[in-house]
Amino acid sequence: MPHQNYVIDEMISAKAIAARIEDLAREIRKEFKTTDKLVVVGLLRGSFVFIADLVRELDLPVEVDFLEASSYGDGMESSREVRILKDLRGQIEGRDVLVVEDIVDTGHTLAHVTKYLMSRKPARLKTIALLDKPARREVDLKASWTGFEIPDEFVVGYGIDFAQRNRNLPFIGKVRFEEPDKS
Protein backbone atom coordinates (compact mmCIF):
# COMPACT_ATOMS: atom_id res chain seq x y z
CA MET A 1 0.00 0.00 0.00
CA PRO A 2 1.27 3.51 -0.64
CA HIS A 3 1.69 4.26 3.08
CA GLN A 4 4.12 1.36 3.20
CA ASN A 5 7.71 2.07 2.16
CA TYR A 6 8.74 0.37 -1.01
CA VAL A 7 11.50 0.50 -3.55
CA ILE A 8 11.36 -0.52 -7.19
CA ASP A 9 14.01 -2.77 -8.67
CA GLU A 10 14.28 -2.92 -12.44
CA MET A 11 13.07 -6.28 -13.76
CA ILE A 12 12.73 -5.70 -17.53
CA SER A 13 14.58 -2.76 -19.07
CA ALA A 14 13.05 -0.31 -21.55
CA LYS A 15 15.51 -1.63 -24.13
CA ALA A 16 14.46 -5.26 -23.60
CA ILE A 17 10.79 -4.27 -23.87
CA ALA A 18 11.42 -2.41 -27.15
CA ALA A 19 13.33 -5.37 -28.61
CA ARG A 20 10.55 -7.80 -27.65
CA ILE A 21 7.90 -5.52 -29.15
CA GLU A 22 9.78 -5.53 -32.45
CA ASP A 23 9.63 -9.36 -32.49
CA LEU A 24 5.96 -9.44 -31.50
CA ALA A 25 5.08 -6.84 -34.14
CA ARG A 26 6.75 -8.97 -36.80
CA GLU A 27 4.59 -11.99 -35.83
CA ILE A 28 1.43 -9.90 -35.70
CA ARG A 29 2.16 -8.36 -39.10
CA LYS A 30 2.44 -11.87 -40.53
CA GLU A 31 -0.86 -12.92 -38.98
CA PHE A 32 -2.81 -9.89 -40.17
CA LYS A 33 -1.02 -9.02 -43.41
CA THR A 34 -4.17 -9.46 -45.49
CA THR A 35 -6.46 -7.65 -43.05
CA ASP A 36 -8.05 -4.54 -44.45
CA LYS A 37 -7.99 -2.53 -41.20
CA LEU A 38 -7.12 -4.25 -37.94
CA VAL A 39 -8.97 -3.07 -34.83
CA VAL A 40 -6.45 -2.84 -32.01
CA VAL A 41 -8.25 -2.68 -28.67
CA GLY A 42 -6.32 -1.50 -25.64
CA LEU A 43 -7.58 -2.43 -22.20
CA LEU A 44 -7.45 0.64 -20.05
CA ARG A 45 -5.73 1.74 -18.12
CA GLY A 46 -2.68 -0.51 -17.91
CA SER A 47 -2.14 -1.08 -21.64
CA PHE A 48 -1.84 2.56 -22.70
CA VAL A 49 1.96 2.57 -22.95
CA PHE A 50 2.23 -0.88 -24.53
CA ILE A 51 -0.43 -0.22 -27.19
CA ALA A 52 1.24 3.09 -28.12
CA ASP A 53 4.58 1.39 -28.72
CA LEU A 54 3.05 -1.71 -30.34
CA VAL A 55 0.91 0.06 -32.96
CA ARG A 56 3.88 2.20 -34.01
CA GLU A 57 5.84 -0.99 -34.74
CA LEU A 58 3.00 -2.70 -36.60
CA ASP A 59 3.18 -0.96 -39.96
CA LEU A 60 -0.35 -2.15 -40.83
CA PRO A 61 -3.55 -0.17 -41.33
CA VAL A 62 -5.05 -0.07 -37.84
CA GLU A 63 -7.97 1.42 -36.01
CA VAL A 64 -7.29 2.01 -32.32
CA ASP A 65 -10.05 1.64 -29.78
CA PHE A 66 -10.20 1.22 -26.02
CA LEU A 67 -12.20 -0.77 -23.52
CA GLU A 68 -12.00 -0.39 -19.79
CA ALA A 69 -12.58 -3.35 -17.54
CA SER A 70 -11.75 -3.55 -13.89
CA SER A 71 -10.79 -6.49 -11.76
CA TYR A 72 -8.75 -4.85 -9.02
CA GLY A 73 -9.66 -2.07 -6.64
CA ASP A 74 -6.85 0.17 -5.47
CA GLY A 75 -5.24 -2.71 -3.65
CA MET A 76 -3.35 -5.81 -4.65
CA GLU A 77 -6.07 -8.45 -4.53
CA SER A 78 -7.76 -9.47 -7.72
CA SER A 79 -11.47 -9.91 -7.38
CA ARG A 80 -13.28 -12.39 -9.54
CA GLU A 81 -15.83 -9.93 -10.73
CA VAL A 82 -14.95 -8.10 -13.93
CA ARG A 83 -16.96 -5.09 -14.95
CA ILE A 84 -16.93 -3.21 -18.24
CA LEU A 85 -16.50 0.44 -17.29
CA LYS A 86 -16.03 1.88 -20.78
CA ASP A 87 -17.11 0.25 -24.01
CA LEU A 88 -15.64 0.41 -27.51
CA ARG A 89 -16.49 3.37 -29.71
CA GLY A 90 -16.43 1.39 -32.96
CA GLN A 91 -18.06 -1.72 -34.38
CA ILE A 92 -16.14 -5.00 -34.54
CA GLU A 93 -18.63 -7.32 -36.23
CA GLY A 94 -16.89 -9.10 -39.11
CA ARG A 95 -13.59 -7.34 -38.32
CA ASP A 96 -10.19 -8.65 -37.25
CA VAL A 97 -9.47 -7.62 -33.67
CA LEU A 98 -6.34 -7.63 -31.53
CA VAL A 99 -6.90 -7.14 -27.80
CA VAL A 100 -3.91 -5.61 -26.03
CA GLU A 101 -3.42 -6.32 -22.35
CA ASP A 102 -0.56 -5.25 -20.08
CA ILE A 103 -0.61 -8.28 -17.80
CA VAL A 104 -2.48 -11.57 -17.44
CA ASP A 105 -2.60 -12.50 -13.80
CA THR A 106 -5.58 -14.64 -12.71
CA GLY A 107 -6.87 -14.42 -16.29
CA HIS A 108 -10.35 -13.26 -15.29
CA THR A 109 -10.09 -9.90 -17.07
CA LEU A 110 -8.95 -11.27 -20.41
CA ALA A 111 -11.39 -14.21 -20.23
CA HIS A 112 -14.31 -11.89 -19.56
CA VAL A 113 -13.30 -9.34 -22.20
CA THR A 114 -12.73 -12.03 -24.83
CA LYS A 115 -16.15 -13.52 -24.19
CA TYR A 116 -17.75 -10.08 -24.24
CA LEU A 117 -16.12 -9.14 -27.56
CA MET A 118 -16.76 -12.55 -29.17
CA SER A 119 -20.49 -11.99 -28.65
CA ARG A 120 -20.15 -9.18 -31.22
CA LYS A 121 -19.02 -11.66 -33.84
CA PRO A 122 -15.61 -10.39 -34.97
CA ALA A 123 -14.12 -12.27 -37.94
CA ARG A 124 -11.02 -13.05 -35.85
CA LEU A 125 -10.02 -12.14 -32.33
CA LYS A 126 -6.45 -12.47 -31.09
CA THR A 127 -4.94 -11.32 -27.83
CA ILE A 128 -1.55 -10.05 -26.77
CA ALA A 129 -0.23 -9.50 -23.26
CA LEU A 130 3.08 -7.89 -22.49
CA LEU A 131 3.41 -9.84 -19.24
CA ASP A 132 2.11 -13.20 -18.12
CA LYS A 133 2.16 -14.47 -14.54
CA PRO A 134 1.18 -18.15 -15.01
CA ALA A 135 1.62 -18.94 -11.30
CA ARG A 136 -1.42 -16.80 -10.48
CA ARG A 137 -3.75 -18.24 -13.11
CA GLU A 138 -7.30 -19.14 -12.05
CA VAL A 139 -8.77 -19.38 -15.54
CA ASP A 140 -7.37 -21.71 -18.20
CA LEU A 141 -6.27 -19.13 -20.72
CA LYS A 142 -3.21 -17.96 -22.60
CA ALA A 143 -2.87 -14.87 -24.77
CA SER A 144 -2.17 -15.51 -28.46
CA TRP A 145 1.14 -13.66 -27.93
CA THR A 146 3.03 -12.96 -24.73
CA GLY A 147 5.93 -10.58 -24.23
CA PHE A 148 7.47 -11.99 -21.07
CA GLU A 149 6.55 -14.68 -18.57
CA ILE A 150 7.28 -13.39 -15.09
CA PRO A 151 7.31 -14.92 -11.60
CA ASP A 152 4.68 -14.09 -9.01
CA GLU A 153 6.07 -10.67 -8.08
CA PHE A 154 4.29 -7.36 -7.73
CA VAL A 155 5.28 -5.37 -10.80
CA VAL A 156 4.89 -1.74 -11.82
CA GLY A 157 5.80 0.61 -14.64
CA TYR A 158 5.32 0.77 -18.40
CA GLY A 159 1.62 1.44 -17.79
CA ILE A 160 1.16 -0.79 -14.74
CA ASP A 161 0.37 0.91 -11.45
CA PHE A 162 0.79 0.38 -7.78
CA ALA A 163 -2.24 2.07 -6.22
CA GLN A 164 -2.33 4.47 -9.21
CA ARG A 165 1.38 5.33 -9.00
CA ASN A 166 4.40 4.45 -11.12
CA ARG A 167 2.57 3.90 -14.43
CA ASN A 168 5.02 6.33 -16.03
CA LEU A 169 8.20 4.35 -15.36
CA PRO A 170 9.79 3.47 -18.71
CA PHE A 171 10.71 -0.05 -17.52
CA ILE A 172 8.99 -2.90 -15.67
CA GLY A 173 10.00 -2.86 -12.02
CA LYS A 174 9.51 -5.21 -9.13
CA VAL A 175 8.11 -3.76 -5.92
CA ARG A 176 10.15 -4.54 -2.82
CA PHE A 177 8.64 -3.62 0.51
CA GLU A 178 10.87 -2.24 3.21
CA GLU A 179 10.52 -2.91 6.89
CA PRO A 180 9.07 0.10 8.74
CA ASP A 181 11.81 2.11 10.44
CA LYS A 182 11.44 1.35 14.15
CA SER A 183 14.10 3.84 15.34
In the set 105, 140, 152, 161, the catalytic residue is 105
Which residues does 63 contact at the CB level (< 8 Å), separation at least 6? Answer: 37, 38, 39, 40, 90
| Helix ranges, 12-135 (H) | 14-31, 48-58, 108-118
Cis check: omega of the bond before 45, within 30 degrees of 0: yes
Residue 1 burial (10 A CB sphere; 0-12, 13-18, 19+): exposed
Q: Is 127 in the site for ligand PRP (CB under 6 A)?
A: no
Using CA atoms, how far apart are residues 157 and 163, in angstroms rounded to an integer?
12
Using CA atoms, how far apart are residues 102 and 86, in angstroms rounded to an integer?
17
**Which of 11-19, 23-31, 97-105, 146-154 is the region at the interface with ligand PRP (rule: CB under 6 A)?**
97-105
Q: Which is nearer to ligand PRP, 29 or 134 (CB)?
A: 134
105 is catalytic: yes
Nearest CA-CA partner of 123 in 42, 30, 32: 32
Using CA atoms, how far apart are residues 68 and 60, in angstroms rounded to an integer?
24
User: What is the contact mask toward ligand PRP in residues 2 to 41, using x (rule: CB under 6 A)?
Assistant: ----------------------------------------
Query: Of 148-177, which residues contact ligand PRP (CB under 6 A)?
Result: 161
Q: Is 105 in the site for ligand PRP (CB under 6 A)?
A: yes
| Residues contacting ligand PRP: total by CB under 6 A | 18
Residue in 107, 147, 157, 173 binding ligand PRP, rule: CB under 6 A: 107
Q: Is 48 in the site for ligand PRP (CB under 6 A)?
A: no
Crossing angle of helices 48-58 and 14-31, in 10° steps, is 50
Q: Is 71 in the site for ligand PRP (CB under 6 A)?
A: yes
Q: Which is nearer to ligand PRP, 35 or 127 (CB)?
A: 127
Residue in 12, 58, 98, 104 binding ligand PRP, rule: CB under 6 A: 104
Active site residues: 105
Q: Which residues bind ligand PRP (CB under 6 A)?
A: 43-46, 70-72, 78, 101-109, 161
